[in-house]
Amino acid sequence: MNAPQRSDTAPEVDTAPELDTAPELERPLILEGFSVRADGKVLLQNAAAEMPGGKITVIVGGSGAGKSVLLRILSGLIPRRGEVITWEGEIGRGQGQPLGRVGIVFQQFALFDEWSPTANVQFAIDHRRRRSVPPDQTAESWLRELRVPTDVPVAALSGGQKQRLAIARTLAADPDLVLYDEPTSGLDAASGRQVAQRIRRTQTAHRRTSVVVTHDYETLLPIADCVYLLDSDRKALIRLPEQQWSEIAERMKPVRREEAEDVVANPAAKDDPAATLSGPSPARRPRWVSGRGAGRAVQDFFAVTGTAVTATLRLPLDLLPRWPRLRWGGRFLLHYLRLVCGPSAWVYLIIAGMIVGFTTTYFTFKFLPYALYTKPLLLEDLLMAIGFALYRVLVPILATTLVAARCGAAVAADVGVKKYGSQIEALQTLGIRPRVYLLTPILLAFIVGTPLLQWLAYQAARVVSLLSFIATHPDVGPHFWALHFESELVGDGWFFRGTGWLLLKVVASGVGVAAIAYYRGGRPKQSASDVSHAITSTVLWATLYVLVVHFVIAFYEF
pLDDT in tens, 441-489: 999 999 999 999 999 999 999 999 999 999 988 888 899 999 999 998 9
Banded pLDDT at 272 (limits 50, 70, 90): very low
Q: What is the mean pLDDT of the chain?
A: 84
Residue 74 has pLDDT above 70, yes or no: yes
Q: Is 341 exposed, middle or buried, given 0-12, 13-18 or 19+ CB atoms closer than 10 A?
A: buried
Q: Return the SS3 of 4.
A: coil
Q: Return the SS3 of 46.
A: strand
Banded pLDDT at 306 (limits 50, 70, 90): low
Quick one: average pLDDT of 262-282? 39
Residue 429 has pLDDT above 50, yes or no: yes
Residue 78: the pLDDT is 92
Banded pLDDT at 265 (limits 50, 70, 90): very low
Query: pTM of the full predicted structure?
Result: 0.85
Q: Which residues pair with 32 in a beta bridge?
A: 90
pLDDT in tens, 86-134: 999 999 987 777 888 899 999 889 999 999 999 999 999 999 877 778 8
DSSP assignment letter at 81: B
Q: Which residues pair with 102 in a beta bridge?
A: 177
Sheet arrangement for strand 41-51: 41-51, 29-38, 85-92
Q: 409: closest CA among 280, 536, 526?
A: 536
- Cα-Cα-Cα-Cα torsion 265, 268, 270, 276, nearest 10 degrees, comes to -70
Q: Return the SS3 of 11.
A: coil
Put residue 22 in one of left, alpha, beta given phi > 0 → left and psi -120 to 50 → alpha: beta
Q: Is 16 exposed, middle or buried, given 0-12, 13-18 or 19+ CB atoms closer than 10 A?
A: middle
Banded pLDDT at 83 (limits 50, 70, 90): confident
Alpha helices in 35-80 (DSSP H): 67-74
**Domain residue spans in the chain?**
23-100+176-277, 333-557
pLDDT in tens, 463-474: 999 999 999 888
Helix-then-strand count for the chain, H and E: 20, 9
DSSP states of 441-496: HHHHHHHHHHHHHHHHHHHHHHHHHHHHHHHH-TTT-HHHHHHHTTTTT--SSSS-
Quick one: average pLDDT of 62-70? 85
Say which CATH superfamily domain 23-100+176-277 falls into: P-loop containing nucleotide triphosphate hydrolases (3.40.50.300)
226-231 and 56-60 beta bridge pairing: parallel
Residue 509: the pLDDT is 96
Residue 246: the pLDDT is 87
Estimate the crossing angle of helix 440-472 against helix 293-318, to 10 degrees. 80
